[in-house]
Amino acid sequence: MGVQQSRYSSDCADSTLKSLDLHRRAETGVFSDSESDVSGSDSDTDEENGVWMALPSALSSTGHTFRKIETKVVNEEEQLQLVKRRARKLARTTAGSAEDRANPVSPRDFHVIKVIGVGGMGRVLLVRYRKDGKLYAMKVVSKKSVKEKNMAARVLSERDVLGGTCHHSLVQLYWAFQTKDNLYFVMEYCPGGELSTHLERATRFTEEVAAFYAAELLLAVQQLHQHGILHRDLKPENILLTEDGHLKLVDFGISKFGITEATRGAKTICGSYEYLAPEILKGKEYGTAADWWAFGAVLYELLTGLPPWYSQNAKEMCKHVLYTPLSIPDFVSPEAEDLIRKLLSRNPYERLGSLHEGLEIQEHAFFRHIDWEMITFREVQPLIQPCPSPETIVRVVCSGIWAHLICLTLYRSMGVIFATNSQIYR
């Protein structure tokens, strides 16, 4: 037995984007007879190598049921055959194209260009798919780390969200497969890097730039909430930019499914301290309103350069979040200040966004110049132009001068390239 994988459609039809629906794309249950390590060396894989089935996304009712089965037995080898049988049965009813079933991918199908990220459980590689030459980001997760750190639920959660989304503000997953030692996610590559990097270089964004990215982020959060998904880790580091400067929300490892209320459904204290809502810090039950608090904290940071109540001492910062009045710099406009204060309301029932899932945020005066239809269909020229073409990036990486040409971003004024004739204004 070799690579176990699921294949996700890479394209969303215009009608899909226009309907703004997270379509339940079918995954296959393909099992290949050959595999190799991503570095090119062969790696033997046996039947009993852990559970990583090609199940449909938990966004679908069928996938949700099978995911529960998978989660329960992810580290129980004695249950492996049962799960495999169910996965094969499911594959016959939800399989993708015949081509996908006949030609499953393996690590040897990708040429590694460079390591672009390192985390606690593995690394992220920039790879080129040998069959079509396209660039992808390949996340390689160590099974040993997953087991030792009890992170199976987190890995499965990220796969479920990534594999079940077809919205342009959410990063796309194209393949998920495994070898004896590792799990692999082959995802959309976002060469623009983290929004936090651009913010750090710019110190702070103008309100025009902040409004543009806040608008794209708002649509991403709305999509998740409409499907009962609470992100729980909104922050600039989890916002990537495409080569032309559009936003992509990533990192769904601690996302929670089945959250449909503003103040109920979740209890676990998790996320990044700078963006945690008061109800989370107090250990109370919380819901989608917690994401809107984090959204407000991100907007504050885009406009000022730091999160609200920021302190290097986490305990002190949490105390300020709970009890200290919010201070907003004088250079922030009255419209922006009003929106931030309403988003950072300590009462989740009164927090803007909690009643109508962001619609009242869209109608706020801060976004008065935003054409939401154009933002929705990405017809607005991004206000940060971060990167050259992927082909240029590969040439730069291979030439060894990547450090000198990261994203080839040119900074003017506040540290960004502004669109000369911005379509963000009507």
Q: What is the CATH number of the domain that holds 212?
A: 1.10.510.10
Are 231 and 147 found together in one domain? no
Q: In which band, very low, low, confident or very high, does the pLDDT at 398 lie, cut at 50, 70 and 90?
A: low
Name which residue leads in pLDDT, 356 or 137.
Answer: 137
In a domain, 395, yes or no: no
Are 130 and 216 found together in one domain? no
Are 353 and 213 found together in one domain? yes
pLDDT digits (tens, 9 = 90+) for 323-358: 999 999 999 999 999 999 999 999 999 999 998 888
Q: Which amino acid is at 344?
A: L
- Residues 16 and 187: their CA atoms lie apart, in Å, by 20
Centre a 10 Å sphere on the Cβ of residue 181 and count the other Cβ atoms it contains. Answer: 15
The answer to whether the beta carbons of residues 163 and 145 sit under 8 Å apart is no
pLDDT on residue 134 = 95
Q: In which band, very low, low, confident or very high, does the pLDDT at 421 lie, cut at 50, 70 and 90?
A: very low
In a domain, 405, yes or no: no
Q: Which amino acid is at 335?
A: E
Of the residues 109, 160, 233, 291, only one is catalytic, namely 233
pLDDT on residue 391 = 57
**Residue (of 147, 273, 288) closest to 218 by Cα position:** 288
Instruction: Count up the domains in the chain and report the number.
Output: 2
In a domain, 386, yes or no: no
Q: Is 248 labelled a binding residue?
A: no
Average pLDDT, integer, range 57-78:
48
pLDDT on residue 351 = 98
In a domain, 177, yes or no: yes
Are 116 and 211 found together in one domain? no
Name which residue leads in pLDDT, 173 or 86.
Answer: 173
pLDDT on residue 69 = 44
In a domain, 153, yes or no: yes
Flag the least confident range among 77-81, 312-316, 349-353. 77-81
Are 158 and 40 found together in one domain? yes
Name which residue leads in pLDDT, 310 or 34.
Answer: 310
Handedness of CA 15, 379, 188, 118 (dihedral sign): negative
Are 356 and 222 found together in one domain? yes
In a domain, 274, yes or no: yes
pTM, to two decimals:
0.73
Are 76 and 146 found together in one domain? yes
Residue 9 clears pLDDT 50, i.e. is over it? no
Q: Where does a domain end: 346, 366, 386? A: 366
| CA dist list (Å): 359 to 85, 227, 352, 362 | 44, 16, 9, 5
Q: Where does a domain end: 315, 334, 366? A: 366
Name which residue leads in pLDDT, 410 or 58.
Answer: 58
Domain that holds residue 225: 207-237+251-366
b/e code 224-262 from CB counts within 10 Å (16+ = b): bbebbbbbbbbbbebbbbbbebbbbbbbbbbbbbebeeb
Average pLDDT, integer, range 197-220:
97
Are 153 and 227 found together in one domain? no
| CA dist list (Å): 75 to 123, 137, 148, 245, 392 | 22, 27, 11, 40, 43
In a domain, 279, yes or no: yes
- Residues 194 and 192: their CA atoms lie apart, in Å, by 7
Q: Edge to edge, what strands does the sheet with 173-178 contain?
A: 30-31, 4-7, 173-178, 182-188, 135-142, 122-129, 110-118
- Structure-token pair, residue 154: 């987190």
pLDDT digits (tens, 9 = 90+) for 166-190: 788 999 989 988 998 999 999 999 9
In a domain, 232, yes or no: yes
Are 293 and 337 found together in one domain? yes
Task: Judge whether 233 counts as a catalytic residue.
Answer: yes
Q: Which CATH number goes with the domain that contains 13?
A: 3.30.200.20
pLDDT digits (tens, 9 = 90+) for 13-63: 333 323 223 222 323 333 233 333 454 443 433 333 333 434 445 455 455
- Residues 26 and 328: their CA atoms lie apart, in Å, by 47
The answer to whether the beta carbons of residues 247 and 168 sit under 8 Å apart is no
**Residue (of 226, 204, 227) closest to 300 by Cα position:** 204
Are 24 and 118 found together in one domain? yes
HSE value, Cβ hemisphere, 13 Å, CA-based, for 187? 29
The answer to whether the beta carbons of residues 262 and 289 sit under 8 Å apart is yes
Q: In which band, very low, low, confident or very high, does the pLDDT at 279 lie, cut at 50, 70 and 90?
A: very high
| Three-class secondary structure assignment of the chain | CCCEEEECCCCCCHHHHHHCCCCCCCCCCEECCCCECCCCCECCCCCCCCCCCCCCCCCCHHHHHHHHHHHHCCCCHHHHHHHHHHHHHHHHHHCCCHHHHHCCCCHHHEEEEEEEEECCCEEEEEEEECCCCCEEEEEEEEHHHHHHCCCHHHHHHHHHHHHCCCCCCECCEEEEEECCCEEEEEEECCCCEEHHHHHHHHCCCCHHHHHHHHHHHHHHHHHHHHCCEECCCCCHHHEEECCCCCEEECCCCCCEECCCCCCCCECCCCCCHHHCCHHHHCCCCECCHHHHHHHHHHHHHHHHCCCCCCCCCHHHHHHHHHHCCCCCCCCCCHHHHHHHHHHCCCCCCCCCCCCCCCHHHHCCHHHCCCCHHHHHCCCCCCCCCCCCCHHHHHHHHHHCCHHHCHHHCCCECCCECCCCCCCCCC
Residue 140 clears pLDDT 70, i.e. is over it? yes
Which residues, in sequence order, are CB contacts of 191 under 8 Å at separation 6+? 135, 242, 243, 386, 387, 390, 393, 407
Residue 371 clears pLDDT 50, i.e. is over it? yes
pLDDT on residue 388 = 59
Are 10 and 118 found together in one domain? yes
Are 268 and 352 found together in one domain? yes
- Residues 199 and 196: their CA atoms lie apart, in Å, by 5
The answer to whether the beta carbons of residues 397 and 420 sit under 8 Å apart is no
Mean pLDDT across the chain? 76
